[in-house]
Structure 1
């Protein structure tokens, strides 16, 4: 199976069972909808050769081991701590292994509670078999013909299936069902749900926090310092048991000490986190016993009351048995405090990982909110130290995902060799793909506390959360097999209870408040949809191209070839969307012909195609799930980042990770470099304004007539569209600025500063691309937002809006989305709502998970 794993290498974390066949084809896809057809009984053998232990009714990992020198069909068995226990007996492995290798089945194991104590060299195991619906009959026949007894749902013995969570007696008590377990955890979380505000240390933080920020600071602090057992763990008879997996240990598991800080964008998460970091330097004992128990590291004897000082001076005597007498509760508190000071003393450096555009935001926030010199900061980016000791001398080290990803293959990177006090992953949705190199880089860091910070923890679907669990090392959800069993598969199949499990899980480890709760008294934000009628010429071209596209897409779906022609389909969709915004976006040679030809053997057309794709900003590389920095199209017409696909074909078996077509470097086509402003001087010379541009100008002029000082931001995913807009806006009398991905960081910062200038006569319209403006910048000088096109991902639109609607905004914010009537854009809104529902309901409410653009989505988009 090794050659079938994800092209950018399977996540090597010891907290995952590697080789899950369901996810080995393509990292960007969640598990497919599979159904349990039954189970077989087998023995785990070879126990005497391995150290792993298994308890009764414990889930186990079943991993193909094709390179095993003794058995090419070997299936090894791991316990939930990834320790090998043994192998599945040969006779059963010989039947199942070929089906696993062909990706026809997924196997999951569980050891029943009734273990045969008569033979210490083997353990009975139920192997549950999952298949896609279309393959049920053929797989069932194949297993039965091979002589294995497959216990089907119609068989009376099926009631014994541990996968059905049948109640049984275990250690003299009733076994709880999974949903009963989640319900109990939910009740426990609710008991602790009261938020206690906490003040930041004034020695470092000079700004006044809002009440919701003080409460968040208290929550963050409590999560880091709690000695409670992690969620889903219980203590029983001197042992600690994970009630989901039945794993038992005599060692107390470490508290989670971190989580997901998921407050809405614009609620001041950065200042709250700076306050948390400041507490590492200046921490005072609070008034309550609970406060004192956790805030012990900076106890200052001079600030203790006279009464406590007198109590501390009591001589502690020992009786003949060595027991202490006359020791007050305060004495015990101080003693525990000193013990904790010893345990927690040492370096307390926080590593903050973010995108390059957000580094400047952290620097600005540090200057604005902290006392000069209060926190020592090091920028680990570009020219940087190679000395671990130098990093450890700072309170904060700022770095980027890219920097860590570059260092990931090397063992020498200093960031990898620091035992960080805290790692904060800002814009945490950047690690939504667990297999991407930047995700692996942050997951493999050593840290006492781990925080994911994002206003959009779910962007495409619930599988985004699995990568966050992996980073947080929140067992068992950081193990792919458990995530798939407990959350992903039930969600894919529309199981209502699965959504409630997801909600409980998020409640245990995340804090989420939204701006609609009036936490900070932000001015109101309204979102309007302005429907635009296409002109006669636009409508004729759109309808003609859509008819051609429908025919092609229908034939691809019927022939089962849609995913093999995924890039071609996305290109079709892109062209339809470009017509909705402005026909000038379509290259003339592509616009003039509606024939959608096979471009795999046409290098020149491939290069033109990649240039079109590069102009849009909402395509993700299927390997790293991020917008490609350098877009590449393969000869088999699939889109990737240049870095991702080059790494793929460096492997001994070079092939496309989507269709397995053989690839070499000569089969990769890159776009020409982005044009400079000088190269685009003539781009806005066309005289005919599109219907959307005309509608936009009317809205802008009406806003200006109402208040000449009102500032507006116009977002488009097409850089070329921003250039096309410049001339008509200038003709209409608007002073404009432009912010796009072709600009240097310095130039972008100057544009933002100039736009924030409130002096009369300064620019009032900012043309902004999502690539340069979607995250990490402050555009509160504006109070109007115009979205020229809808994006597949509603979270991206919300990030754009929240550059304007955030702390610091004084005016009511109006957002206008321009949507072409009777077009693909209206259907994109339907898909957006599906994704928005899941993200919303994960924190409070049930929706079937979706990722990216599925076949059903394509049907919806093409009205098929």
Structure 2
């Protein structure tokens, strides 16, 4: 060991300590108390053990001076420790280690390699690097935490941010440090890398730990017992009750606690706070009535700031009205004599009579129901039912007519005031009888509302029409007439009366009229001196409903043309004619016979096209048509898939199997029906062959039914679709079908007939699935996967192969050669790949020469119903008519029944089973929505982009305008959704900024990793997957990655399926949404929502399928107050759009102007009409500060790596996924 000679800076540092510290430090160094030291010429870190204590010191050279710090606060000890450390540094000289990761001066890596007698590989060296990093941190900070341990094993549970206690005494070197860590892992049944066994002696550590752990456990139990013993006995809640004491001027709440005789008025805030504190501590109990009174009083006091009720204040009177209506408080509201108030049903009323004190006045006297005069003032308590409070009793009473709430029992009113039209009307309004001297002179009459209605043209423009209504109030004999104008009812005519007679008109029937007019959206027009409303397409239906709901007391005068809306519909009978027939096919035409009315063909066509709705005729009247079909007939026509409202004159080509419904006989000509029935009888329906013996599998009952359905199709020469949910085994059903079909051909055809091969076309990712399952379940079949175009050998196909499997790209490229083969059957797996009938793949598929055609798909409709035509144009050409015919009948119509008709037409050729229907043994599936709230830059970017889109789309005020601009709308929504995912998706410069959703994702991944779960993470943006991937790499987490660009797809899937690590599989929504079997994962995270929920369901079905043993949980990440949340709400509202066919129609193509306005409204809390998100919502908007800071650091590291990649990517890559 070569010692160092001290330089001037070192000498100055050593001489700066007092003599006592120098002597003690020298002694410590000589005795070997410096148990650890490392560093260089600028920095020294040391550990010194003295008198049973461990002290850490750090020395730094700044300029020409050494500065030191020490973990102990004792000045003398601190100086001695720093002095000893500097002497040890001089003593060791050039042998001073630069880091603490050594054992007896041997680096830990060298020690392991020596024990293993080999060099460490990269993965092992990386693990040692992480151990060394943890040890360096421990030496500096003297602590180790859960987040250190999780870096060495991702399944270590992060329980807290407090330091861990893993050893009885601090480890003296890295070897001892690792052995304690290894023991901690082993104790939790967590494995560390096998190569570390070379330096791990768990038995030795266990011996050292046994006594210490026992001591800790005993101490912990003593602490628990002591805390229980020292805990004061729980105070038994004592009872408290409340009551309200009231006069007609004020009211106060009083309380009485248990064992107290006196009631105490709650006059001080401190007293209320004391009771509240006891109440919160569960030290009080009260009966239900006291609790109601207490809670009401607290709310009132908090609102008004008052501790008592001043009954001259109207708000206090309204509060008293509320309390008196609480039946539970009977007996808890008392007067000054402590007698409970009596709340009676008998009302007070006003009695008007001659005033005995003044001959020129009438007296208005408050009386009880028994005409007993009230002798003292009462307090009016306003409310829905007016209450009048006296000293002991509370009465219901007449309507309020005074501003003051203190009501005198008697008022004197001049006779001139009462003896008038206004006066008698006033008495009627307050429920008072007339004075006896006036009764003979007053006649009570009713006013009835009268509405005169007509249609006015050209009020605002030449083509516009308005409903106009003149509203009047009439007395039956014409003695009074009023007109409703904007300001209210205006007197037009009042017949004079003879002598002193007075007419009093009851107006109750007039009160609802303004509200009734508002229901039709009518406004007053000063020029017309009447109310008007615009006549639109929806007007007739709305008008009919409005008139239907009109009160009987309203007199209606409706002009003749307008009145036709209220007429009964014209009735018609329907029948179907067969105009042509070819073997299995019938051409049908709809014929409608209108009864009792002479109408032209054009008028009938108009009425039929309206489908029972109103049609405006040439003379200005309205008419509607009702087709006479009883429920059974209507059901039969619907099951046939025919439209009773089709008067286009066009024929409908239908297969005999589509028409074979016994109940349809009533709507067909008898001769035509006989022909249909005879042909349908020849078709073999009950085809249920046994499962071939050569199949090496036991099919589930529903799989047997599926295979037999395919046999039924082939027996009758039909093509069709097997549309079972993902994961129900469509592949094995198809293999069974191929085995049966080959045997069936052998048994039924001429012996010389050659059995052709089967062609399977599937996505590239599923090629090996077919090979694996065929080899496993039907090894007798010779199968070949076409890897390249050059591998296609027609001679081999015709003479050697039983099954050729290729992908859709190869179908396009090799179409001409494939057409030269007569295929036994062609099976299109994931058949939605040909959903576009103009695509080359769809055209090539239709041109194939095959005896049988089959489509396999879990989601045959993704974006529009035309997708279904394309699938059936391959499987069963003609069954849905020509493309133009189908487009007119099913694709563009808004008639909801068209979807039911399509389902009916497909029924003989399509079989669809959901998991809920057939796979009873499949574990349940749960979907939860996780919301994350944007902050900072992400939120600012979102608001700016939202405002830009709102400005760009300003003026779109109809569904048609939305459709015309659908591309621009979808582009704008795409940018908003990208910002929701991560700001870096719209510009790489924002990659370092935080993403709320990214935080939520890794929060979930952390939880699932700690529990040892595998997770599938789907995103439609490949660049988003790259950002997630980089962060996983930075955090050394195991993952797999699959997009449309991945070459070794099979390898990635196998790695994920076989690994025992809590791994993450990143998949693009399209590339990972078809044909993959990933049952080793039971958790799915959908990072960004897709327009079509069916695509998301496909993604979840990658793991929720046959073979899955665990409950499947899917988390859908959504950004709070964003387009994502709005789209999800609309998806919930529109889910039923096409589920009665096979799947979900394209969501985006169904957006209307109202939907768009809803999606682009800012935020989520300001719009009362926004429905709440679905239940079961996890909310991770709040992440701890410590967690977020870690996330930011890692995200910034990942961002640097991603920025280069992301800047080169464009939207093309995303679309390819």
CA-atom RMSD in angstroms:
4.6
Mapped contact 2:762–2:829 kept (Cα < 8 A): yes
CA apart distance, 1:400: 2.3
Tell me the SS of whatever aligns to 2:850.
Answer: strand
Rounded Cα–Cα distance in structure 1 between residues aligned with 2:604 and 2:1148: 26
Rounded Cα–Cα distance in structure 2 between residues aligned with 1:785 and 1:263: 21
Change (3 A) 1:194 1:723: same
Rounded Cα–Cα distance in structure 2 between residues aligned with 1:216 and 1:366: 17
Rounded Cα–Cα distance in structure 2 between residues aligned with 1:474 and 1:742: 35
CA apart distance, 1:217: 1.2
Tell me the SS of whatever aligns to 1:808.
Answer: coil
* 1:399-458: CA deviation from partner (whole Å, max 9, x where unpaired): 2222232355xxxx2211222221111111111111222111111222111111101112
CA apart distance, 1:356: 1.8
CA apart distance, 1:803: 1.0
2:1018 is the counterpart of 1:737: no
Within 5 A, what are the aligned runs for 1:382-397?
382-385=789-792, 387=794, 390-391=797-798, 393-397=800-804
Within 5 A, what are the aligned runs for 1:612-691?
686=992, 688-691=993-996
CA apart distance, 1:390: 3.6
* 1:222-259: CA deviation from partner (whole Å, max 9, x where unpaired): 22113xxxxxxxxxxxxxxxxxxxxxxxxxxxx4x221
Change (3 A) 1:851 1:470: farther
Rounded Cα–Cα distance in structure 2 between residues aligned with 1:556 and 1:510: 41
Alignment partner, residue 714 of structure 2:
224
2:820 is the counterpart of 1:420: no
Is the deviation greater in 393-402 or in 551-560?
551-560
* 1:600-628: CA deviation from partner (whole Å, max 9, x where unpaired): xxxxxxxxxxxxxxxxxxxxxxxxxxxxx
Mapped contact 1:268–1:807 kept (Cα < 8 A): yes
Alignment partner, residue 765 of structure 2:
357
Change (3 A) 1:209 1:344: farther
TM-score by length of 2: 0.40
2:1080 is the counterpart of 1:775: no
CA apart distance, 1:467: 1.0
Rounded Cα–Cα distance in structure 2 between residues aligned with 1:824 and 1:494: 29
Rounded Cα–Cα distance in structure 2 between residues aligned with 1:127 and 1:435: 38
Match of 2:1025 among 719, 722, 743: 722
CA apart distance, 1:265: 0.4
Within 5 A, what are the aligned runs for 1:769-848?
769-833=1068-1132, 836-842=1135-1141
2:1054 is the counterpart of 1:753: yes
Tell me the SS of whatever aligns to 1:351.
Answer: strand
2:862 is the counterpart of 1:862: no
Mapped contact 2:756–2:822 kept (Cα < 8 A): no
Change (3 A) 1:452 1:848: closer
CA apart distance, 1:580: 0.9
CA apart distance, 1:298: 4.8
2:1100 is the counterpart of 1:693: no
CA apart distance, 1:502: 2.4
* 1:122-170: CA deviation from partner (whole Å, max 9, x where unpaired): xxx9999999x9xxxxxx99xx9xxxxxxx99899x999971799xxxx
Change (3 A) 1:693 1:783: same
Alignment partner, residue 723 of structure 2:
262
Mapped contact 1:197–1:214 kept (Cα < 8 A): no
Alignment partner, residue 606 of structure 1:
none
Alignment partner, residue 163 of structure 1:
647
Tell me the SS of whatever aligns to 2:953.
Answer: helix
CA apart distance, 1:567: 4.2
Alignment partner, residue 809 of structure 2:
402
CA apart distance, 1:478: 3.6
Mapped contact 1:838–1:849 kept (Cα < 8 A): no
Tell me the SS of whatever aligns to 2:851.
Answer: strand
Rounded Cα–Cα distance in structure 2 between residues aligned with 1:584 and 1:364: 41
Rounded Cα–Cα distance in structure 2 between residues aligned with 1:435 and 1:392: 33
Alignment partner, residue 48 of structure 1:
none
2:919 is the counterpart of 1:519: yes
Rounded Cα–Cα distance in structure 1 between residues aligned with 2:877 and 2:1072: 33
Mapped contact 2:977–2:1124 kept (Cα < 8 A): yes
2:483 is the counterpart of 1:483: no
Within 5 A, what are the aligned runs for 1:571-586?
571-586=971-986
Alignment partner, residue 454 of structure 1:
857
* 1:501-545: CA deviation from partner (whole Å, max 9, x where unpaired): 223223221111111235251221111111111124322321221
Within 5 A, what are the aligned runs for 1:126-141?
none
Change (3 A) 1:852 1:726: same
Between the two proteins, the alignment pairs up a number of residues equal to: 536
Structure number with larger C-alpha Rg: 2
CA apart distance, 1:863: 4.0
What stretches of structure 1 of length at least 5 have no aligned partner? 1-33, 35-55, 61-78, 84-107, 115-124, 134-139, 145-151, 167-172, 227-254, 284-294, 300-339, 592-682
Alignment partner, residue 500 of structure 1:
900
Alignment partner, residue 702 of structure 1:
1007
Change (3 A) 1:691 1:271: same
Rounded Cα–Cα distance in structure 1 between residues aligned with 2:666 and 2:778: 55
Match of 2:702 among 212, 235, 249: 212
Rounded Cα–Cα distance in structure 2 between residues aligned with 1:390 and 1:731: 50
Mapped contact 1:507–1:843 kept (Cα < 8 A): no
Rounded Cα–Cα distance in structure 1 between residues aligned with 2:904 and 2:1103: 32
Mapped contact 2:933–2:1119 kept (Cα < 8 A): yes
Tell me the SS of whatever aligns to 1:829.
Answer: helix
Rounded Cα–Cα distance in structure 1 between residues aligned with 2:1100 and 2:847: 34
Change (3 A) 1:499 1:556: closer
CA apart distance, 1:376: 3.8
Alignment partner, residue 238 of structure 2:
none
Mapped contact 2:762–2:807 kept (Cα < 8 A): yes
2:776 is the counterpart of 1:368: yes
Alignment partner, residue 539 of structure 1:
939
CA apart distance, 1:353: 1.4
Alignment partner, residue 852 of structure 1:
1149
Mapped contact 1:201–1:275 kept (Cα < 8 A): no
Within 5 A, what are the aligned runs for 1:269-284?
269-281=730-742, 283=743
Alignment partner, residue 638 of structure 1:
none
Change (3 A) 1:198 1:153: farther
Rounded Cα–Cα distance in structure 1 between residues aligned with 2:578 and 2:787: 44
Alignment partner, residue 1016 of structure 2:
713
Mapped contact 2:903–2:1141 kept (Cα < 8 A): yes
Change (3 A) 1:418 1:558: same
Rounded Cα–Cα distance in structure 1 between residues aligned with 2:858 and 2:1005: 30
Change (3 A) 1:830 1:417: farther
Mapped contact 2:1082–2:1103 kept (Cα < 8 A): yes
Change (3 A) 1:128 1:481: farther
Tell me the SS of whatever aligns to 1:819.
Answer: strand
* 1:828-852: CA deviation from partner (whole Å, max 9, x where unpaired): 22454466423421259xx998673
Rounded Cα–Cα distance in structure 2 between residues aligned with 1:536 and 1:470: 53
Rounded Cα–Cα distance in structure 1 between residues aligned with 2:1156 and 2:668: 42
Mapped contact 1:531–1:820 kept (Cα < 8 A): yes
Change (3 A) 1:495 1:848: farther
Mapped contact 2:862–2:1146 kept (Cα < 8 A): no
Change (3 A) 1:468 1:214: same
Rounded Cα–Cα distance in structure 2 between residues aligned with 1:771 and 1:819: 19
